[in-house]
Amino acid sequence: MPHYIRSVAELTLAQYVEKSRAEILARLDAWLRIPAISADPSHRDDVRASAEWCAGEMRTAGLERVQLLETAGHPAVYGEWLHASDAPTVLVYGHHDVQPVDPLDAWTSPPFEPTVRDGQLFARGAVDDKGQVLYHLEVIRALLARDGGLPVNLKLLVEGEEEIGSPHFEDLLDRHRELVHADVVVVSDTAMWAADVPSMCTGMRGLVTFDVALRTASGDLHSGSFGGAVQNAAHVAAGLVAALHDEHRAVTLPRFYDDVLPIPTTVRDSMAALPFDPDRFRATANGAALIGEAGASTLERIWVRPTAEVTGISAGYAGVGMKTIVPATATVKFTFRLVPDQDPERIAVAFHEWLAARLPDGVEVEVTPMGAVAPALTPLDHPAVAAAATSIERVWGVAPRYTREGGSGPEEALGRVLDAPVVFLGVGLPDDQIHAPNERIVLDQFWKGLLAVAELWFELAAVGTSIPRVGPVEGDQ
């Protein structure tokens, strides 16, 4: 491991990590073997076992007041160390639940039998997010063992339902507001541009989703006897999908773009400076052709422009051979990614208007909201962002680029409920196969992430207790 030396103290930490590599990897191996699949009810006990394992390691690392925070679903885990006088309080957020592993036969090695190949650790949860939670815990262990204290007051909150949309997380934050209160939130559930091009995320798009069930008759009908004379649910569903975008790939919901501000020149220039390779991007997208909103670059489309996708469509017969019917039912799942200043509730109203205007007579519809998350954004000029950027530069040797994440998580709720800025320090890579077979974490990234976290805590301690709030997201940054 290279030595990232700021002082003798930092060299000592690097040496500690060097000597403890096998033990650290053994702990990660043990955690990754617990199949904490939050989406599958048959793994409920495994998710709890994962939370209990995490709580046990928090205690042995030296955290206090360690406890499972129960929800209506899966438990979160909390621990703290609050003995740094005149220092800010940092809440580190992560999650211990993981995605399902299907298709199982696409894995080179079993998903819950961690395997190291060519400097990479393969397992479900390796990078999303157990690996990135563990390097925070290992810094706690190392600094408390070395110094007997931490440079900041620290709280660690590890959720158990992130992979199913965090349905009970905001309620958890409300109920435990005093317990989790902090001056700044640090999230390590994000990725970097490349191993040799370090970057840090500064915001995430929001999300609003709907499941639309259509019915045109009480049951399927014979296509010879009734075809051409009655509504076909599959045709209705296809018409809705086709109407979602115009000829310029713009979303057709009324007022959809009313609150979307132009992309600032600084943000556009920052994205343009990234070494974007369309062919490499296509490769990470499994060869899919690049399309999207006219006038926007690929990075703008996935980071700073709102989008609409059909994430599922079902109707009629899809088995072997033919079944000559007029389908009576169909389902379409719609997902909208939102940017500042779009509001999920206003988009929901617009969606219902859009849908009502396009449904033919004689069609019954049931719309089920499947989740909503507001966008999250921390300004580039915020001192906590500067602290994270300095930490990354010390470890990687070059200043990080600034990126966004097209996905969504509970970061907006964390920032809003706690009234604190959210800073992202994640070390995943675009080809880590997150949510896919053969998920991995590059171990060099893991070790660097560990050292960068330690640097961040010292940097935040230097900022002090007067870390400014961000407030509601208003306008792009």
Q: 158: domain CATH number?
A: 3.40.630.10
Number of domains in the chain: 2
**Global pTM value:** 0.85
Look at residue 141 and give its three-state secondary structure: helix
Asked if the structure places residue 287 within a domain, the reply is no
The Cα–Cα gap between 47 and 383 comes to 36
Nearest to 422 by CA among 74, 90, 88: 90
Residue count (the chain): 477
Is residue 297 in some structural domain? no
142 and 221 together in one domain: no
Is the residue at 170 inside a domain?
A: yes
Three-class DSSP category at 184: strand
Q: Which of 257, 271, 268, 474 is nearest to 378 (CA)?
A: 474
How many helices (H) and strands (E) are present in the chain, helices listed first? Answer: 14, 18
Tell whether 65 and 170 lie within a shared domain. Answer: yes
Q: Tell me, yes or no, whether 12 and 58 share the same domain.
A: yes
Residue 469 maps to a domain: no
- Tell me the CATH number at 349: 3.30.70.360
Domain shared by 336 and 431, yes or no: no
Cα angle value 299/303/307 (rounded, 5°) = 100
Check if the beta carbon of residue 250 is closer than 8 Å to that of residue 294.
yes
Helical pair 8-32 and 130-147, crossing angle rounded to 10 deg: 140
Distances in whole angstroms, Cα of residue 188 to Cα of each of 41, 374, 475: 27, 19, 25
Please indicate, yes or no, whether residues 168 and 101 belong to a single structural domain of this protein: yes
Contact 425, 186 (CB under 8 A): yes
CB 202 within 8 A of CB 385: yes
Residue 475 belongs to a domain: no
Cis peptide bond upstream of 171, omega within 30: no
Same domain, 348 and 450: no
Between the alpha carbon of residue 337 and those of residues 87, 195, 240, the distances in Å are 37, 27, 18
Are 412 and 374 spatial neighbours (Cβ–Cβ below 8 Å)?
yes
Q: Round to whole Å and give the CA distance between 68 and 47.
A: 12
CA distance linking residue 23 with residue 109, whole number of Å: 22
**Per-residue pLDDT tens listing for the chain (477 residues):** 333 334 434 547 788 888 899 999 999 999 999 999 999 999 999 999 999 999 999 999 999 999 999 999 999 999 999 999 999 999 999 999 999 999 999 999 999 999 999 999 999 999 999 999 999 999 999 999 888 999 999 999 999 999 988 989 999 999 999 999 999 999 999 999 999 999 999 989 999 999 999 999 999 999 999 999 999 999 999 999 999 999 999 999 999 999 998 888 888 888 888 999 999 999 888 899 999 999 999 999 999 999 999 999 999 999 999 999 999 999 999 999 999 889 999 999 999 999 999 999 999 999 999 888 889 888 888 999 999 999 999 999 999 999 998 887 888 899 999 999 999 999 999 999 999 999 999 999 999 999 999 999 999 999 988 888 775 444 444
**By C-alpha distance, which of 377, 149, 159 is closest to 264?**
377
Q: Give the structural domain span for 325.
A: 207-260+306-371
410 and 452 co-located in one domain: yes
**Is the residue at 1 inside a domain?**
no
Tokens found for residue 314:
């079902």
The answer on 409 and 331 residing in a single domain is no
Which of 371, 400, 428 is the C-terminal boundary of a domain?
Answer: 371
161 and 47 together in one domain: yes
Nearest to 79 by CA among 179, 161, 185, 184: 179
CA distance 125 to 102: 14
Classify 345 as helix, strand or coil. Answer: helix
Q: What is the pLDDT of residue 134?
A: 98
What pLDDT does residue 9 have? 45
C-alpha closest to that of 210 among 373, 367, 406, 409: 367
pLDDT of residue 474: 44
pLDDT at 18: 86
Do 44 and 132 lie in one domain? The reply is: yes
Whether residues 79 and 165 share a domain: the answer is yes
Residues 94 and 182 placed together within one structural domain of the fold: yes
